[in-house]
Structure 1
Amino acid sequence: MPASQGINGMFDFRKITPEDLEEQTDALIGKQRTAYNSVGTLPLDKVTYSNVIKELADLMTERSTQGSPLDFPQHAALDKAVREASSKAEQKLEEFDVEMSMRKDIFDRVVGFRDTVGTEGLSAEQKRLVQKLVLHGKRNGLHLSEEIQNEVKKIKKRMSELSIKFQRNLNEDNTKLFFAREELAGMPDDFINELSQGEEGKLEVTMKYPHLFPITKKCHVPNTRRLMVTASQSKCMEDNTPILEELIALRQKQAEVLGYKNHAHYVLEERMAKTPESVAEFLTNLSQKLQPLWEEEKVVMLKFKKEECDKYSYEYNGQLDFWDMRYYMNQVEEKMYAVDQDEASLGVSFSVRQYFPLEKVTLGLFDIYQTLLGLQFTLLPDADTWHDDVKLYQVTDAQTQENLGCFFLDLYPRDGKFGHAAIFPLQPSCVGADGDRQVAVCAMMCNFTKPTKDKPALLDHSEVESYFHEFGHVMHHICSRAAFAMFAGTHVERDFLEAPSQMLENWVWEKEPLTRMSGHYQTSATLPDEIVDKLAKSRKANAGGFNLRQIILGTFDQTIHTRGQADTKALFAQTYKDIMDIEPIPNTNMPANFGHLAGGYDAQYYGYLWSEVFSMDMYDSCFKKQGILNPVIGAKYRQSILQPGGSKDAHDLLRDFLGRDPTPDAFLRSKGLQA
C-alpha cells in the first residue's frame, strides 16, 4: 500500500497469514502495555499534560491505527483461516482494551492532573479530552472499591468475547434453500438465470441481500416467501440466542454494580436522549401518530392480497402474514405509484433498476459529494486490496489539494464477508504523536447484486439510497479535523451518528441528483422526469409500516436493556404483535441475527429515528431552501457538522449549523404526519 497516500496499515489480506496477525497483535499489545505502565508509575507530583493526557491520546491513536489491519480482516478476507485469526486478534485487543480501561493507576494520574495542574490554558478540545477520560474512568468504576473494579473487568471481558462470537456466527452463516422454477414465479428471468443449480436440478438461493430482498418483494408464491423469511429470521438462532441473552444479563449486572438502575440508564447518560424515559416517550408518541397511517396501509395491502389470492387460486386468510410485508409494500409502490424496481410487470411499463448501473451511480454519487463538499476523489488503480473487486480512492480538498484520506469500496457479496452495509474506520484523522495530522482511512462494505455476462450490476432505488447513506458515513470519517482519535469522524453521540448520512439520503429523491446518477445501461438515457416525479411521490408510501417496524426494533432494544433479562424470542414476538398486530413466524428469533444488539447499538437503536429529527431539519431548513447542490451551504455543513467529529456536543454542532435549536416539524412532515 503506498505510504505516500498516508495509509499506515497493510490492507492486502491475500498476503497476510494467521501467524502474521498473531505476531503483530502480540507486538502491538506489548508496546502499548509498556507505554501504559510508564504513565501508571509516574509520581503524582510529576504529572503534566504532556506525560499523561497527550500520552494517552497518542496511545489511542496508535491502537486505532495499528489495530484496524488486525481486526478488520475477519469481515473481508478471502481465507477463512485469516478471518478466524483476525477474530481472535480482535478478542485479544478488546481484552487488552478492557484491562487498560480498568487501570486505577492511570485514572489516578488523569484525576491528579485535573486537580493539581488543572485545565486552564488548554484548548476546548483538550479540556473535553480530560473531562471524558475522567468520566470514562468513573463509568468503569475506578472511583469505587477494588472488588467492584475486578467484577466490572470480568464482565467486560466476557461481553467482548460474546459480541465477537455473535458477529462471527453471522459472517460465517451460509444458509441456503432450494426451489423449483415454478416456486419462484414472479421473479425476472435475469434473476433466475444467475442462480446456481443444486439438489435435483433445483435453484439455489442464499440469505444474502441480493437473493433475500428480491424474492420477498417479487415472488408471488406465498410458501416460497414464507420459507425465505423463516430461514432469514431463524439465522444463527440456536447459537446466537443464548449469546444475546447472556449479553443482556451481563449488561444489567454491570449497570447495577456501577450504581445504575439498568443498562439503558447507563448507556444513555452519554447520549442526546439522556434517559430511557425520554426514549420511551419519543417512541410511544411517534407510534401513536403512525397507527392511523398503518391502519390505512393495511386495508390497501389486504385488498391487494385478496386480488392476488383470487388471481393465483391461493387461499385467502383475511390477514397480513409476516412474510407478506415486503411483498405487499412493493405492490403498493408498483400499483399505486407505478414504480417498478425490476422490470415490466403488473401493467407497469418501466423498470427503475435498468437506469441505475452501479458504475454510473458511483460516478454520479462522487460528482454530487465532490461538488457539495469541495472535494476531489482519485482512483488509485495499482493499490493492493483484499479482493479484485475492491477499489481504493484518495480524497483531497479541491481548493487546497490537501490529502484528506482514502476509502475502499467493497460492494459485492461473497462467502465469509460481512453481510450488511456498513463503514469500517481503518485509520482516524487526528494529530499524531509527532504533531502532524494523519489522514483518515475507511472501508465501505455493501452487498449489491454482482454484474453478469449480459448486464452490469444494477441497483434498485432503495439500494441507491443505501449507497448514498453509507457514503455519507465515509465523508463524516474522511472530513473530520478533530485533534484526537477519541473524537475523530463518527465518534459522536450514537443517537446523532446517523443524522449526517440520513440527511444526505434526501438527494436521491430530487431531480438533479437522480439525473446525475442515472443512465440506462443500454441507452445511457437518464431517468425520465415522469419517473422522478413518481419516485418522489412514492417516498411516503408505506411510511406507517416501515417506521413502525423501526419502532418495534427500538422498543425491543429498550425493553431488554431496561428489564435486564429476557426470553428474546417471546418478547420480540409480543412486541411485534402489540405494535403492528401481526404474528411473527413461530420458532424464529430475529434478534439472534440483529447484529446491532452485539455491535455497539445496545439500548441505542432508537437513534435511527431520533437522529432523523435532526437530519430532516438540516435538510429542510438549509439545503432545500438554499439549493441542494449549493457549495456554500455544503461548505458550511462540512465545517459545522462533519469536521468537528465528537469534539463538541451534537446539540452545539446543530446550533452552529442551523443557527437555532432543532425542531421536529420537518421530521413529522416527512412521515406524512401533521407537524
Structure 2
Amino acid sequence: MVNLTPPQPPPIWTHTPEEVIKLTKEAIDKDREVQDHVAKLPASECNFDTLALARSDSEFSNVTEPLSFYQHVSTSKELRDASNEAEVLVRDFGVDSSMRIDVYNAKIAAQKNIESSGKKLNQEEQRLVEKMVQDGTRAGLSLPEADRERLTEWNKELSQVCIEFSKNFNEENGFISFTLKELKGVPEDVISGYPKRKEGDKELYDVMHRTPDIFPLFKYAKIAETRRQAWESFEARLELNAPLFDRALELRRKIAALLGYDTWADYKTEVKMVKSGENVEKFLSDLEQRLRPLGARERETLLKLKADELKAAGEPFDGEMYPWDYRYYDRLHVEKTLSLDDTLVKEYFPVSVVVPAILEIYQDLLRVRFHEVKDTQTWHPDAQMFAVWAADAKDESDFVGYCYLDLFPRASKYSHAAVWPLLHSYLHPDGKRLYPLTAMVANLAKPTPERPALMRHDDVVTFFHEMGHVFHGLLSRTQFARFHGTSVARDFVEAPSQMLENWCWEPKVLEKMSRHYKTNEPLSPELIEKIVQSRYVNVGLSYLRQVFFARFDLHVHTHKGKSVMEICTDKEDVTAVWNDMRDHISLFKGGKRSAGQGSFAHLVGGYDAGYYGYTYSLVFAADMYQTVFKEDPLDVTRGDRYRKSILQPGGSREELESLEEFLGRPPNSDAFMKELFGGI
C-alpha cells in the first residue's frame, strides 16, 4: 500500500477536567439550538430536511462520547469525575430532548408532509422517519403534560442512578488476601503477579477482584476454603450498589406503567427482534427445560470427581456442589477425560503472538489493513492507535477508520472486556463521510518476572469476540449515524461476534495464532484436537449459568403493579431473588447469600430486560457459521459476503432482512440445538 494520510485526524486525548465539562456544555447548547429551530417551523414547512435533527444528534454524540469515555480508562480521578459529570449532563439533556412535544410535533408534521407529497425516500431514510416518530411515542409524548413532567423527572433520576452504579463498578478496587499455603494449586506464574506484603508474622498475597487475578483461584486453588472465601468476596464486592439497583427497578416499573406497558420488559422488547417479554419467557423456559437434564448429568459427574478427591485426601464430603467448586472440577474433568492441561495450553498463547495473529486473521478475511500510528497521544501509554485502510488502498477514499486497543489492567480502569464505538460513521449532506472510531478495552494478563504475558484459551475467545464488535463498527457504511455498526436490535448485536468465536475452535486457526513462548512451535494437532473436544464439556452447566442471569434480569423487569402507587409499595427482596434463582437454575448450592446483583453491570449499561439476547443471538450465530463459514472459515469470498450482508447495513434495515440475505433463507435454530446437544 502506498503511504497515505488519513483524510480525518483522530480525536485528541489531552483534555483537562475543565475542558471536558466546557466542551460537553457547548455541544448541548449547539444541539438545543437545532431543536429550537425545528420546533419553531410552521407545520407546513416541516419536511425530510427537518429530520436533519439526526445529523445534529450525530455531531453531538461524536463530541460527547469520547469525553464520557475517560471515566472508563483514565488514571486521573479528576478526569474520571469530570467525565462522569459530563455524562450526567448528556443524559439529562437527552431526557429533556426526548420529552420535547414541540419537536415531536414537527416530526409528525414532517412525516405527514412527506407522505402527502409523494417524495421518494430510500429505505434507510424511510426507516429514519419511522424510528424518529416512534421515539416520541415511546417517550410518552402523546400523554398529558403532567404525566410527561413525571416521566422527565423519573428518567433523569434513573439516568443518575445508572451512572452512579457504573462509577462504583469501574472504581471497585477491592481484594482478598491469602498466604502462599492457602494458594496451593494456583500456578506460580499467576502467584508471582500478586502484590506481596507483610502483616505481622504472615506473608500475604493480595488478590484483586479483577478477573485475570481472581479467576485462576476458582480454577486451580486446591483448598476449598480458599475458593469459597475468594468467591464470596468476589460476589459481594459491590453490595453498595444493591440500593441503586432497587431504585433503578422501581423507576423502570413506574415509567413502564405510566407509558401503558404491563412491564419494563414489554417496553424494552417492543423494538427488538423478540418483540415481547412473554416471548423472552417462552424462549428461556424452553431452553432451561432442555438444559436441566444435561446439566444434572454433568453435575453428577463433577460430584463424583469431588467425592473421589476428598476421599483420597481423607476429608469429609457433604454431597453438595458449590459455585466456587464449578470451575475447579470442570478443569479437573477436562484434564482427566482429555488429558488437557490448561496451564500448558496457555503457554502457546503469548499476548505478543495472539493479538497480531487475530488482527491478521480479521484483516485477511475482511480485506483491510491495520497500520499502527506511533508517537501519538492517547489516554494512556498502554493504548495503541491504528489507522485502518482497505487492503488494496490507493487513495484516501479507501480509508476505513481508527481503532484503539487498550488491553492491560490498571487501577480504576473498566475491569472486563468491551468495545466503545466512540465515533459513528455517517454521510454529510455534501456526500462526505465521517469515519468511525472504535476502542477495545480489555484486561489481559501482564507479564511476570518468569514469563511473558500469556492468555488462557477462553481469553483468546473473548478477544476474538470483542474484535468482532470492532469490525462491525469499522466496516458498517450507513447514511445515518443512528444505524451505524452495532446500532442494531439489542438481541442481535452479539450475534456477529458470537459467530466469529467459532474461529477459535477451528484447527487451522488455532495453529495460526499459537506459538509456544519458549520454543515458538504452534499447538500440536493432538493438543488442538483436545481443545476442540473440550468445547462441549459441561456445556449444560455453562449455559444454565447464562440462563440464570437472563431469567433474573427478566424476573426483576416483569414484576407487575396495577398502578404507579402499588409499584412504590409492592417491593421484593431482590437479593433473595438473586440467590434463590442462582441456586435453583445453576444447580449449585450458593453458600453465603450476598447482593451479587450489585455487580451485574449489564443491567444498568443497556442490557436491562435484554440479557437474554446473549443466548437468543446464539441461535443466529450458530446458523450463520454452519451455513456459510464452516466449510472454509478463512475464505475471503465468504468474508466479503459477511461484510456486505451483515456488517455494512448495521441497523439500517430489519435484522431478519440482513440474515436472510446472508443465509439465502430465513434463520432457524437447528444449528444451535445441534451445537448444544450433540456438538458440531
Q: 1:90 to 1:475 in 2, by over 3 A?
A: same
Q: CA separation in 2, counterparts of 1:417 and 1:602?
A: 23
Question: What CA deviation, in whole Å up to 9, does each residue of 1:259-312 have, x standing for no partner?
Answer: 111100000100111111111111111111111211111111111111222344
1:616-627 maps to which residues of 2 (within 5 A)? Answer: 616-625=622-631, 627=632
Q: Which aligned pairs between 1:4-83 and structure 2 lie closer than 5 A?
A: 4=6, 6-7=8-9, 9-10=11-12, 12=13, 15-50=14-49, 52-53=50-51, 55-83=52-80
Matching residue of 2:91: 94
Amino acid at match of 1:660: R
> Corresponding residue for 1:541?
537
Task: Say whether 1:440 aligns with 2:436.
Answer: yes
Task: Provide closer, same or farther for how the CA distance between residues 570 and 225 of structure 1 changes in structure 2, counting only shifts above 3 A.
Answer: same
**1:388 is matched with which residue?**
381
Letter in 2 for 1:117: I
Q: Distance in 2 between matches of 1:105 and 1:450?
A: 54
**Corresponding residue of 1:318:** 319
| Equivalent in the alignment of 1:487 | 483
SS in 1 for 2:177: strand
Q: What is the match of residue 565 of structure 2?
A: none
CA distance in 2, matches of 1:451, 1:582: 34
CA change 1:356–1:666 in 2 (3 A) is same
1:605 aligns to 2:602 (yes or no): no
Shift of 1:453: 3.4
Q: Note the C-alpha offset of 1:322.
A: 2.0
Kept in 2: contact 1:429–1:488 (CA 8 A): yes
1:48 to partner: Cα distance: 2.3
The equivalent position to 1:517 in structure 2, one of 513, 521, 524, is 513
CA distance in 2, matches of 1:465, 1:271: 27
Distance in 1, matches of 2:253 and 2:163, equals 19
The more displaced of 65-74 and 380-389 is 380-389
Residue number among 654, 660, 666 corresponding to 1:661 in the alignment: 666
Q: 1:210 aligns with which of 209, 212, 236?
A: 212
Q: Deviation per CA, 1:228-252, whole angstroms, max 9, x where unpaired? A: 1101110111x21111111111111
Task: Measure how far apart 1:384 and its partner are.
Answer: 1.1
1: CA distance, partners of 2:286 / 2:678: 12
Structure 1 residue 589 and structure 2 residue 586: aligned?
A: no
- Which amino acid is the alignment partner of residue 629 of structure 2? F
Say whether the 8 Å CA contact 1:65–1:428 is kept in structure 2: yes
1:360-391 superposed Cα distances (whole Å, 9 cap, x missing partner)? 11121111111111111111112211111111
Q: Which residue of 2 aligns with 1:117?
A: 114
Percentage identity across paired residues of the two chains: 37
How does 1:186-585 map onto structure 2 within 5 Å? 186-200=185-199, 201-237=203-239, 239-342=240-343, 351-401=344-394, 402-432=398-428, 434-564=430-560, 565-585=571-591
Q: Which runs of 5+ in 1 are unaligned?
A: 343-350
Q: Secondary structure at the match of 1:405?
A: strand
Q: SS of 1:381's equivalent?
A: coil
Query: In the TM superposition, what is the alpha-carbon distance from 1:432 to its structure 2 partner?
Result: 2.9
How far does residue 91 in structure 1 lie from its aligned partner after superposition?
0.6
User: What SS does structure 1 have at the residue aligned with 2:630?
Assistant: helix
Alpha-carbon distance between aligned partners in 2 of 1:129 and 1:540, rounded to the nearest angstrom: 42
Q: Counterparts in 2 of 1:132-151, with a 5 A limit?
A: 132-151=131-150
The CA distance in 1 between the partners of 2:154 and 2:586, in whole Å, is: 36
1:346 match: none
Q: How far apart in 1 are the matches of 2:628 and 2:193?
A: 45
Structure 2: gaps (5+ residues): 561-570
Q: Tell me the SS of whatever aligns to 2:379.
A: coil
Deviations 1:183-227 (A, max 9, x none): 000011122222211242211110001111111101111111111
Output the amino acid matched with 1:73: Y
8 Å Cα contact 1:8/1:66 also seen in 2: no
Shift in CA distance, 144/555, structure 1 to aligned 2, threshold 3 Å: same
Preserved CA contact (<8 Å) 1:422 1:470: yes
Residue identity opposite 1:671 in structure 2: L
Give the CA deviation at 1:42: 1.2
Matched, 1:104 2:111: no
**Matched residue of 1:423: which SS?**
strand
Paired with 1:3 and 1:102, the residues of 2 have a C-alpha distance of: 43
CA contact (8 A) 2:189 2:450 kept: no
Deviations 1:131-185 (A, max 9, x none): 0000110000112211121111111111110111001001111111111100000
Aligned-partner SS, 1:671: helix
TM (norm. structure 1) is 0.95
| Letter paired with 2:315 | Y
User: Aligned-residue CA RMSD in angstroms?
Assistant: 1.6
Whether the 8 Å contact between 1:357 and 1:459 is mirrored in structure 2 is: yes
Counterparts of 1:534 and 1:260, CA distance in 2: 50
Partner of residue 348, structure 1: none
- Aligned-partner Cα distance in 1 for 2:83–2:575: 31
**CA shift for structure 1 position 566:** 3.6
TM-score (norm 2): 0.95
- 1:443 alignment partner, SS class: strand
